[in-house]
Chains A and B, each alone.
Chain A
Amino acid sequence: MRILGGGIFKGMAVTLRNFVGSYLNKKERLHTNDYSWRADGALPQSIGDYPKEKGEQLSDTTTVTEYSRNFPMLLHDGGEPMDTVRCVACQICERECPPQCIYIEKDYDENGKYIKRPAVFDIDVSVCMSCQICVEVCPFDAIVMNSQFELSTPNRFGGLLVRRDDLLKSNDYYHKIHPEEAASRDQKMAVEKAAKEAKKKAAAEKAKAAAEKKAAETAKEEAK
């Protein structure tokens, strides 16, 4: 036989146990402050004393998680950014971007010849939804996700539009924020490059062989 109100008391016992347990036996009773399911088992840095104390982890190269993504950046291979930028302004990301927040213009030299780099590359922070589709469709591994999250600005016109020169980041920086992803991307690029060179070499050899054959034929004909 159940007493009327017994269920309520039973429930109140649970809340009481949680309340007292939160002071006495944090981990087992309340299940909070137990961050052992996190990678480092520690209180997440972002919770810490975030706005007051940034700490090293929360500087420009925040690593929240390996796959954290917030906003795209353009990669260059070191040195003068615009000389080694990987982007060739092919505009695939501009076409595929779901919220249409990328704007690209191709770069031309004084003779009007297309040089493979962007003259304008703007991304609108207020529109970007951090979906990473641009990263996936890029055939040149030129655009990847940054994990920097302090993007707020007092300037609402222009401040939310990130220009090409602010988007350019070195490959070393990429290795710092996404070590695993960057390593696998570099490896993939090296394999692709090797395959491309092998193909080029094979093509050159083929052309050479063809030229030799042709030369031999002409020599033969001349001999006739």
Chain B
Amino acid sequence: MSTAATPNYELIQQDGLETNLLEVSMGPHHPSTHGVFRMDVKLDGETVVDLRPVFGYLHRNHEKLAENMSYLSSMPFTDRLDYFNSMTNNWAYALAAEKLIEVEVPERAEYLRVIMAELTRLVNHVSLVGFFINDLGALGTPLLYAFREREKILDLFEQASGARMMCNYFRFGGLRNDVPEGWLERAAKVVDHFPSFLDEYEQLLCENEIILSRTQGVGNLPRELAISAGVTGPMLRASGVAYDLRKVDQYGIYDRFKFRVPYTDGDTGDCYDRFMIRMLEMRESIEILKQALAGIPEGEIMGNAPRVFKPKPAESYGRIEGPKGELGFYLIADGTPKPYRYRVRPPSLINLTVLRDMCLGGKIADAVIILGSIDIVLGEVDR
């Protein structure tokens, strides 16, 4: 083969043999990409030489749509950003808008918000771990065990909000409706049961030699790179930075709960760290849930906020510690019922920016699990 025929490819001299780099387009319809996402990978044998993430296949014009409708109307669209965590998406948007109209949230609503957000974190982490092991090749068992538990929490969401995934439950100044009678007892039952499932799950996965050898030392993310790339959430904590907005901002009533933030003590994090951080975070979420379910008071769930309003010209940024990282909504009000600018800071997209750095030099099969360990949802990456 002559060099002239393939001018774009570098040629590799190895033992006197000339070989080409192989360019592979993984995706957009590939089971490992968690949606419509494409990785343009250049391979030298099995080693990844270059990787280019290509996304935008699921772009739905979320931000521009929201700029053309009233503040309340874009609330159901936030469910569809990260469709695993509609409750936390709602909360971040409600926080941003509540700063604009300066409305107080009643005590009971604050407790219910924390309960919903932590249940969402359980849903997200448990299904992420299932999918992650699925990416490793364990088709079925771990994922289905995870989904079995997830379904119980989704049942709770359905009873409270009327929908399993597209909850649309938070409102500016509170929540749409109170939880039905007996809901808190049922939630307590699910929460009490969860640790025994986690014990079983850890026994199933955490010492498995195949998982250890596939994930340890794979996809290293150094602390400096994680910080400078703006990575947040469990990924950042897996790289050795104890940064959690629940502790830093203490939005809502998180200052009242006693919980720990798990992080690694090394200065680099691999896929196994990111997997374990999520397992540990679920334990802490259960602690928060137990405290919240014990301390929830009776009372109103909706503050004195109008349905449709015209905020004074101002700007606000509401952010929360979503299950995937810092989820922020930036709003500029111009005195009309519609936001002048509406911008989402999606944790999935920003965590995805370090994909190339983590994959370079690794094997192509490892690129799949590195992507799985980032925990992306394409609805949020592309918006």
Which residues in B have their C-beta under 8 angstroms from that of A2?
A: 207
For chain A, residues 136 to 160, give those with C-beta under 8 angstroms from any C-beta of chain B.
136-137, 145
A180 and B181 alpha carbons, distance in the complex (Å): 10
A70 and B73 alpha carbons, distance in the complex (Å): 17
* Stretch among A116-124, A126-134, A189-197, A208-216 lining the B interface: A126-134
Given contacts A68-B158, A97-B73, contact A39 B182 (CB under 8 A): yes
Beta-carbon contact of B176 and A96 below 8 Å: no
Q: Is B12 located at the chain interface by the 8 A CB criterion? A: no
Category for how many chain B residues contact A: 35 or more
Category for how many chain A residues contact B: 35 or more
Q: In the complex, what residue of chain A is closest to B151 when comparing beta carbons?
A: A32
Partner of B148, one of A31, A37, A181: A31
Beta-carbon contact of A6 and B180 below 8 Å: no
* Stretch among B51-59, B123-131, B196-204, B326-334 lining the A interface: B196-204
Given contacts A11-B203, A11-B204, A11-B208, contact A39 B159 (CB under 8 A): yes
Beta-carbon contact of A67 and B177 below 8 Å: yes
Beta-carbon contact of A65 and B159 below 8 Å: yes
Secondary structure of the B contact surface, majority rule: helix
Beta-carbon contact of B197 and A37 below 8 Å: no
Q: Is A7 located at the chain interface by the 8 A CB criterion? A: yes
Given contacts A96-B70, A136-B72, contact A37 B162 (CB under 8 A): no
Partner of A96, one of B73, B149, B159, B207: B73
Q: Is A38 located at the chain interface by the 8 A CB criterion? A: yes
Q: What's the nearest-Cβ distance from chain B to residue A3, in Å?
A: 10
Q: In the complex, what residue of chain B is closest to A4 when comparing beta carbons?
A: B209
Q: Is A5 located at the chain interface by the 8 A CB criterion? A: yes
Given contacts A130-B166, A137-B307, contact A38 B155 (CB under 8 A): yes
Beta-carbon contact of A96 and B72 below 8 Å: yes
Beta-carbon contact of A8 and B209 below 8 Å: yes
Beta-carbon contact of B176 and A37 below 8 Å: no
Q: Is A15 located at the chain interface by the 8 A CB criterion? A: yes
Beta-carbon contact of A14 and B163 below 8 Å: no
* Stretch among B39-47, B185-193, B244-252, B349-357 lining the A interface: B185-193
Given contacts A36-B189, A37-B189, A180-B180, contact A10 B203 (CB under 8 A): yes
Q: Is B291 located at the chain interface by the 8 A CB criterion? A: no
Beta-carbon contact of A98 and B73 below 8 Å: yes
Beta-carbon contact of A98 and B77 below 8 Å: yes
Partner of A14, one of B70, B166, B204: B204
Q: Is B253 located at the chain interface by the 8 A CB criterion? A: no
Beta-carbon contact of A15 and B204 below 8 Å: yes
Which residues in A have their C-beta under 8 angstroms from that of B190?
A: 37
Q: Is B85 located at the chain interface by the 8 A CB criterion? A: no
Given contacts A66-B180, A97-B73, contact A37 B156 (CB under 8 A): yes
Beta-carbon contact of A133 and B205 below 8 Å: no
Given contacts A8-B209, A98-B74, A129-B76, contact A67 B156 (CB under 8 A): no
* Beyond A65-B159, A96-B72, A130-B163, 16 additional pairs, beta carbon < 8 A: A10-B203, A14-B200, A15-B204, A32-B148, A37-B189, A39-B182, A39-B186, A65-B162, A66-B159, A98-B69, A98-B76, A98-B77, A130-B166, A132-B168, A133-B72, A136-B307
Nearest 3 CB-CB pairings of A with B = A7-B207, A131-B76, A67-B162
